[in-house]
Amino acid sequence: MTALRWIDTHCHLDAPEFDADRDAVVARARAAGVGMIVLPAVAAAHFETTRRLAHEHGFAYALGVHPLCVDRAADEDLDRLGEALQRWRDDPRLVAVGEIGLDFFVPGLDRPRQERFYLAQLKLARAARLPVILHVRRSADGLLKGLRRNEVAGGIAHAFNGSPQQAALFAERGFRLGFGGAMTFERALQIRRLASELPDSVPVLETDAPDIPPHWLYRTAAERAAGATSRNEPAELPRIAQVLAELRGWSLEQTAAITAANARAALPRLAALDPP
């Protein structure tokens, strides 16, 4: 398995969960064959750190304001994003605008503010001629509505869990769909169906580390209350890939090659950083 080369299209390496052993996390990922990782920022305060980590470890990065962060963000953070995209426009490791999007699952969020930040960031991505990395949680229709108003250069719909019809609409717009730890749960019937039935050109692999741990890292509420943790990390990607391979009837070699090609198609600057 370690002879194969994998691309993790979504990992928050800047998260505080990795502060104690970040270099070891990267070393384990490389030992597992994860040769390229995309690091999406979630807030303007993280832009510099995310970029630094990408350069330090030879990875790629994206800049954006996450929908779960917009309530705490200042309006001026959109200007900060535009300035950062302009300042680093020639940085080959800047591969997308993200993580941006809409979250209609978490209660109590300011939906109009989410939508305003989302549309503004789509416009910035279009101006920068960059694809986007989308957060989509019970919001696929809203995201598609925004994309119809603001055409961008495709990208990735991260942790996708919409309908087959919604998946097709994203694919028609040049998007690939991210599959990770949630796919490893046998009860995740819709995600597993999508992962098994979508055209070969659509799936990409991701961990969303430290979040969305696969089933073998899952802890019950009682275990978590007792202090057990379930941090995800990029080294889990090959085992997640094995699940995708089984669902699709692919070999691991096919899975590595197809998902990497899809990642490079979704985020074209990856091709120079991680050539086939």
pLDDT at 229: 78
Q: Which residues contact 20 (CB under 8 A, 6 or more apart)?
A: none
pTM of the full predicted structure? 0.97
Q: State pLDDT tens for residues 224-273.
A: 778 787 999 999 999 999 999 999 999 999 999 999 999 999 999 999 99
Dihedral (CA of 11, 12, 14, 16) sign: negative
Q: State pLDDT tens for residues 37-86.
A: 999 999 999 999 999 999 999 999 999 999 999 999 999 999 999 999 99
**Taking residues 114-136, what's their average pLDDT?**
98
Given a contact cutoff of 8 angstroms between Cβ atoms, the answer to whether 91 and 54 are in contact is no
Confidence of residue 1 (pLDDT cuts 50, 70, 90): very low
Go through the domains of the chain in sequence order and give each one's CATH number. Answer: 6-273 (3.20.20.140)
125 is written with which tokens?
């991505």
Q: Which residues contact 143 (CB under 8 A, 6 or more apart)?
A: 101, 102, 118, 134, 136, 157
Q: State pLDDT tens for residues 194-223.
A: 999 999 999 999 999 999 999 999 888 788
